[in-house]
Amino acid sequence: MNTKPILIVSGEPYSVLFEILFKSLEKYKPKNPLIVVGSKRLMQDQITELKLSKKISINFIKQNYKISYLKKNSINIIDVNFKYTRCFDKISKKSKKYIENCFEIALKLCKLNKISGFINGPISKPHFLNNKFLGITEYLANKTLSKNYVMLIYNKKISVAPITTHLPLSKVSRSIKKKDIISKVRLIKEFYKKQFKIDPSIGITGLNPHNENISQISEEEKIIKPAIRFLKKRYNNVDGPFPADSLFMKKNLKKFDVIVGMYHDQVLTPIKALYNFEPINITLGLPFLRISPDHGTNNQMIGKNKSNPLSLIKAIKFLDQN
């Protein structure tokens, strides 16, 4: 048994996380134990509501667990207190402290080198982050004092990474920096070489339609092309900038392992259209491997037992098999 189990941070209590976790474990049995940081009572109540009591086994453990405490065929849970009246309710500010406590415990275990990496459940960013951070990627980077990081939406066939993340489009242009393009491409290169033993081929998009800008200031000419020229001197298989509207055509995708775009929807929209729930969100540059299933809280589906667990299955498999 692996002495560094897979950790799952439950995230927003009013989400489909527990539902898709139960479904994931029905479809895939990990060879390594799972530890969930979250409310034991909430999990038990949702098991009852979803009529899964005969299928799910829970093993309560303490934060200072030993490997002998873990049960491979159970959900090992570190209980975090959360007061609520209904197990299926509406997202509200009262879950903020609960989520913070879950992350604090998870980060402590990571610091103690007790886990192989962790998966966090979906979180309602407006209620949890209060506009202090752009997303959970930035929240964790701040908590771990990580300066250089990148969001990689990983899929075996093609992965994507945005240079800027959850920014309004009005702020994207002035947030693109040559040094960020270079550092994020380096992180991706290092990750692929370490994780998969391959030197990935990377295509980089421009920012503007057709890489053209009618104003005197062109981000392609001023920032993106100089960054690519710098990278090309160090790597043989980095190319661009390519117009984003044609780069995701099938014949073009065959040329690359990763496409790096300038902003969130420029690359996440096409990969989700192509591969639905298959991709997983991996944060590179943290002291540990962090993965997030590529979906949100899915509030409209809470309690209906109809949510698709594929992305969480992919996330568990990734950590279980690496």
pLDDT digits (tens, 9 = 90+) for 8-67: 999 899 888 999 999 999 899 898 899 999 999 999 988 888 887 667 889 999 988 888
Q: Based on the domain organization, do 190 and 204 belong to the same domain? A: yes
pLDDT of residue 2: 47
Structure tokens at 63: 């934060």
The rounded percent of the chain whose pLDDT value lies above 70 is 98
Q: Based on the domain organization, do 173 and 24 belong to the same domain? A: no
Q: What is the DSSP pairing of strand 150-154 with strand 280-284?
A: antiparallel
Q: Based on the domain organization, do 216 and 195 belong to the same domain? A: yes
Q: Based on the domain organization, do 174 and 58 belong to the same domain? A: no
Which tens digits make up the pLDDT trace of 95-128? 899 999 999 999 999 888 778 888 998 888 888 8
Average pLDDT on 190-205 reads 96
Q: Based on the domain organization, do 316 and 278 belong to the same domain? A: no
The mean of the pLDDT values for the chain is 90
CB 263 within 8 A of CB 247: no
Between the alpha carbon of residue 69 and those of residues 55, 60, 146, the distances in Å are 21, 9, 32
Backbone angles phi and psi of 165, in degrees to 5: -105, -105
Give me the CATH number covering residue 100: 3.40.718.10
Q: How far apart are CA 31 and CA 28, in angstroms?
A: 9
Which tens digits make up the pLDDT trace of 217-259? 799 999 999 999 999 999 989 999 999 999 999 999 999 999 9
Query: How many CB atoms are located within 10 Å of the residue 66 CB?
Result: 9
Q: Based on the domain organization, do 304 and 218 belong to the same domain? A: no
Q: Based on the domain organization, do 153 and 114 belong to the same domain? A: no
pLDDT of residue 1: 45
| CB contact burial 140-166 (16+ within 10 A = b; e otherwise) | bbeebebeebbbbbbbeebbbbbbbbb
Which tens digits make up the pLDDT trace of 139-194? 999 999 999 999 999 999 999 999 999 899 999 999 999 999 999 999 999 999 99
Domain that holds residue 172: 148-283
Q: Based on the domain organization, do 226 and 306 belong to the same domain? A: no
Q: How far apart are CA 13 and CA 99, in angstroms?
A: 8
Nearest to 18 by CA among 2, 5, 32, 37: 37
The answer for residues whose C-beta is within 8 angstroms of residue 151's C-beta and 6 or more apart is 137, 161, 162, 165, 281, 282, 283
**For residue 215, what pLDDT band results from cuts at 50, 70 and 90?**
confident
pLDDT of 214 over the 80 cut: no
Query: How many CB atoms are located within 10 Å of the residue 318 CB?
Result: 18
Average pLDDT on 286-315 reads 86
Q: Based on the domain organization, do 300 and 248 belong to the same domain? A: no
Q: Based on the domain organization, do 254 and 166 belong to the same domain? A: yes
pLDDT of 265 over the 70 cut: yes
CB 206 within 8 A of CB 262: yes
> Domain total for the chain?
2
Q: How far apart are CA 105 and CA 64, in angstroms?
A: 11
Q: Based on the domain organization, do 253 and 193 belong to the same domain? A: yes
Structure tokens at 105: 């415990």
Adjacency order of strands within the sheet including 34-38: 58-61, 75-79, 34-38, 6-9, 117-120, 290-293, 280-284, 150-154, 159-162, 258-261, 202-205, 238-242
Q: How far apart are CA 256 and CA 209, in angstroms?
A: 21
Q: Based on the domain organization, do 110 and 15 belong to the same domain? A: yes
pLDDT of residue 3: 61
